[in-house]
Amino acid sequence: MTVIMRGKDVANRLREEVIEEVKSLQSEGIKPTAAIVRVGDLSDSVGYERSAVNVLKKANLEVETFYFPEETPETQFLSEFEKINNNTSIHGILLLRPLPDHIDIEKVKMIIDPAKDIDGMSPYNIGKVLEPQENDFVPCTPAAVMQTLRHYEIDLQGKDVAVVGHSLVVGRPLSMLLASEDATVSLCHIHTKDMKGICQNADIIVTATGAIGLITGDHVKEGAVVVDVGTTYDENGKLHGDVRFDEVEGKAAYLTPVPGGIGAVTTTILAERVVIAAKKQMHSKDARFSEVR
Amino acid sequence: MTVIMRGKDVANRLREEVIEEVKSLQSEGIKPTAAIVRVGDLSDSVGYERSAVNVLKKANLEVETFYFPEETPETQFLSEFEKINNNTSIHGILLLRPLPDHIDIEKVKMIIDPAKDIDGMSPYNIGKVLEPQENDFVPCTPAAVMQTLRHYEIDLQGKDVAVVGHSLVVGRPLSMLLASEDATVSLCHIHTKDMKGICQNADIIVTATGAIGLITGDHVKEGAVVVDVGTTYDENGKLHGDVRFDEVEGKAAYLTPVPGGIGAVTTTILAERVVIAAKKQMHSKDARFSEVR
């Protein structure tokens, strides 16, 4: 029998913890507040903004949204962004991506205060994936995978893990998070000679490629744990993962569905981080170095 | 026949390139300068300092050494370190490690200007291992491994690479550098179930564990590339690598010796970076953001 790992269950538990923390911070006079910053009207970011606002508010967090027209010049945007960054009543910042081409995302990554960077885009926070500590703001989707594995008490030490897809946002940082828990990680991708062989040997498969149905029943060892991070829409607007769910269900011990898997956890991680950010900044006026000074 | 990959050959070529660059910078009135900072008299750091000074000077770089007694209080050291960091005539900084226990290395990592951090200790630079660009200051030893593989024109794309040892200074960052060149990396360590099996399948083995003789002839596939990053002294003061050289020679296509392998490349990487740092800072007064503003 396959246990279906539902993101909603992971997210609900996490949200309850966040709500408790918000209550406790409010009793100290602090209102944990997130800023959501959007430039332009790309449908992807509009949709993500709506869902992020929804999740943050359900966790009783304050949300301020900042909108800049598509044509905002780079210097003006950066200067406005710095104001948001320096605003002490804002604890966490989510910048929606992609940005328009004329605004260099690398500049924003260097400016954003690592202590407010709940989405894990600052190089400071990305570097933390090599030696993650409990309250680090490592990239969100890999963090959601780790949170899901923890929720289902999946042991990682010494386990053979195939990570399929070596993207910057998922595969690479995730492989480091898994290695730091002493899993044996094989990071596969489009150039890998024998991806199927590596998967067949794996105790845990995490796939994040965007290739619909890439992972078949034949890739999966009996009793393995399969986490599907893929989210791809087909021509009919239907959402698919990387895994052929019907082939893997019954064979795997644990399996995430798409939709209803990791995606639901990611935004709740953002909510948790607003609370962590508020705590980090509580006793410090200079948030940038609040951890070290 | 096994090609012995000699660090000296890699380092010599690199040093010649550095000397050319130094000449060109000097003609523009810039003297590329390294600061070497040491606290206390641990024999490891004293020895490393001597060898680093030697290599830097042989590349015609200026070297300023800063020494602080073991008992220097943390606040005093940090304030002195900030002065070195802000000194515009110093382009690259090497802080010798370990520091005494009462000085928190994490604080120094947050203070050091990423553009001067030739040893790659700032979280900014560590984060760059996930998406390395040509002149990034990723950690030095992994960079030396990559430089050596490049020197011997070892193709990485699609190759199965076993990285043995998941330390923060070598194994983890190296696995990211290799993945960014599209190698299929399996990161093994003490908890790995079948390290030998993973090595036997590997086109390239890089080992960095400090376990003398861990990698035997039986671990190595005929024609594989074997890079030995281990450097461990036995009770008689003799230096050993992780690889049983005599068993692997003749079987591997390429093999690094210990001593005389990667170690010789690492310090020359530092020299190269002083030049890169000087160039990065040439047109900027605010070195910290010289890359982005």
Per the structure, the count of domains in chain B is: 2
Instruction: Indicate whether B36 pLDDT > 70.
Output: yes
Instruction: Indicate whether A124 pLDDT > 90.
Output: no
Between chains, do A186 and B184 touch, taking CB under 8 Å as contact?
A: yes
Tell me, yes or no, whether B21 lies in a domain. Answer: no
Domain check: are A61 and A157 in the same one? no
Task: Identify the CA nearest to B231 among candidates B269, B193, B266, B273.
Answer: B266
Distance of alpha carbon B235 from alpha carbon B239, whole angstroms: 10
Instruction: Indicate whether B147 pLDDT > 50.
Output: yes
Between chains, do B157 and A191 touch, taking CB under 8 Å as contact?
A: yes
pLDDT value of position B50? 93
Tell me, yes or no, whether A68 lies in a domain. Answer: yes
Largest Cα separation within chain B, whole Å, is 57
Task: Identify the CA nearest to B276 among candidates B25, B12, B8, B16.
Answer: B25
For residue B173, list chain A residues with Cβ-Cβ distance below 8 A: 130
* Per-residue confidence band for A45, with pLDDT thresholds at 50, 70 and 90: confident
| B171 membership: H or E segment, kind and range | helix B171-180
Q: In what order do the strands lie in the sheet with A204-207?
A: A3-4, A254-255, A225-228, A204-207, A160-164, A184-188, B184-188, B160-164, B204-207, B225-228, B254-255, B3-4
Name the more confident of A286 and A284: A284
pLDDT value of position A284? 65
Distance of alpha carbon B20 from alpha carbon A60, whole angstroms: 61
Instruction: Indicate whether B286 pLDDT > 80.
Output: no
Tell me, yes or no, whether B93 lies in a domain. Answer: yes
Distance of alpha carbon A174 from alpha carbon A89, whole angstroms: 32
- Where b means 16+ CB within 10 Å and e means fewer, B232-262 reads eeeeeeeebbbbbbebbbebbbbbbbbebbb
Instruction: Determine whether A238 is exposed, middle or buried from the number of CB atoms within 10 Å of its CB (0-12, 13-18, 19+).
Output: exposed
Taking residues A45-61, what's their average pLDDT? Answer: 93
Task: State pLDDT tens for residues B75-123.
Answer: 999 999 999 999 999 999 999 988 999 999 999 998 999 999 999 999 8
Distance of alpha carbon B265 from alpha carbon B242, whole angstroms: 18
For residue A110, list chain B residues with Cβ-Cβ distance below 8 A: 289, 291-292
Q: Which of A106, A123, A189 sits opposite B127 (nearest CB)?
A: A123
Q: Which residues form the domain of A61? A: 28-119
Tell me, yes or no, whether A51 lies in a domain. Answer: yes
Q: Which of A56, A85, A119 is the last residue of a domain?
A: A119
Distance of alpha carbon B62 from alpha carbon B35, whole angstroms: 9
Task: State pLDDT tens for residues B112-128.
Answer: 999 999 999 998 899 89
Its ipTM equals 0.92
Task: Identify the CA nearest to A154 among candidates A187, A186, A178, A185.
Answer: A178
Q: Which of B179, B190, B291 sits opposite A187 (nearest CB)?
A: B179
Instruction: Indicate whether B2 pLDDT > 60.
Output: yes
* Per-residue confidence band for B288, with pLDDT thresholds at 50, 70 and 90: very low
pLDDT value of position A288? 46
Bond prior to B139 in cis (omega within 30° of 0): no
pLDDT value of position B284? 65
Q: How far is CA B166 from the centre of its chain?
A: 15
Distance of alpha carbon B185 from alpha carbon B103, whole angstroms: 36
Domain check: are A166 and A239 in the same one? yes
pLDDT value of position B292? 42
Domain check: are A102 and A146 in the same one? no
Between chains, do B293 and A173 touch, taking CB under 8 Å as contact?
A: no
Domain check: are A105 and A144 in the same one? no
Tell me, yes or no, whether A292 lies in a domain. Answer: no
Write down how long chain A is: 293
How many contacts, defined by CB atoms under 8 Å, are there between A and B? 121
* Per-residue confidence band for A283, with pLDDT thresholds at 50, 70 and 90: low
> Over chain B, what is the mean pLDDT?
94
Domain check: are A93 and A153 in the same one? no
pLDDT value of position B293? 35
Domain check: are B211 and B245 in the same one? yes
Domain check: are B148 and B258 in the same one? yes
Domain check: are A168 and A252 in the same one? yes
Distance of alpha carbon B232 from alpha carbon B212, whole angstroms: 7
Q: Are B4 and B255 within 8 A, CB to CB? A: yes
Residue type, A94: L
Task: Identify the CA nearest to B2 among candidates B257, B261, B260, B253.
Answer: B253
Q: How far is A32 from chain B (nearest CA, A)?
A: 25
Write down how long chain B is: 293
Residue A250 zone, left/alpha/beta (φ > 0; ψ -120 to 50; rest)? left
Global pTM reads 0.93
Pairing state between β B225-228 and B232-233? unpaired
Name the more confident of A218 and A1: A218
Q: What is the CATH number of the domain that holds B244?
A: 3.40.50.720
Domain check: are A158 and A84 in the same one? no
DSSP-assigned states of every residue in A243-270: B-HHHHTTTSSEE--SSSSHHHHHHHHH
Tell me, yes or no, whether A16 lies in a domain. Answer: no
Q: How far is B292 from chain A (nearest CA, A)?
A: 5
Distance of alpha carbon B273 from alpha carbon B270, whole angstroms: 5
Q: Which of B119, B148, B176 is the last residue of a domain?
A: B119
pLDDT value of position B287? 44
* Per-residue confidence band for B43, with pLDDT thresholds at 50, 70 and 90: confident
* Per-residue confidence band for B283, with pLDDT thresholds at 50, 70 and 90: low
Task: State pLDDT tens for residues B187-230.
Answer: 999 999 999 999 999 999 999 999 999 999 999 999 999 999 99
Taking residues A84-113, what's their average pLDDT? Answer: 95
Q: What are A180's two structure tokens? A: 């730091």
Tell me, yes or no, whether A211 lies in a domain. Answer: yes
Domain check: are A64 and A157 in the same one? no
- Where b means 16+ CB within 10 Å and e means fewer, A3-21 reads eebbbebbbeebbeebbeb
Query: In terms of CA atoms, which chain B residue is nearest residue A169?
Result: B130
Domain check: are A242 and A147 in the same one? yes
Instruction: Determine whether B3 is exposed, middle or buried from the number of CB atoms within 10 Å of its CB (0-12, 13-18, 19+).
Output: exposed
Name the more confident of B283 and A200: A200
Count CA atoms closer than 13 A to B52's CA, side-chain side.
Answer: 30
To the nearest whole percent, how much of chain B has pLDDT over 70? Answer: 96
Q: What is the CATH number of the domain that holds B65?
A: 3.40.50.10860
Pairing state between β A239-240 and A232-233? antiparallel
Between chains, do A127 and B131 touch, taking CB under 8 Å as contact?
A: no
Q: What is the dihedral of CA B201, A131, A183, A204, to 10 degrees?
A: -100
Domain check: are A109 and A144 in the same one? no
Taking residues B45-49, what's their average pLDDT? Answer: 88
Pairing state between β B254-255 and B3-4? parallel
Q: Are A265 and A152 within 8 A, CB to CB? A: no
Residue B263's SS3 state is: helix
Task: State pLDDT tens for residues A166-193.
Answer: 999 999 999 999 999 999 999 999 999 9
Between chains, do B124 and A129 touch, taking CB under 8 Å as contact?
A: no
Tell me, yes or no, whether B78 lies in a domain. Answer: yes
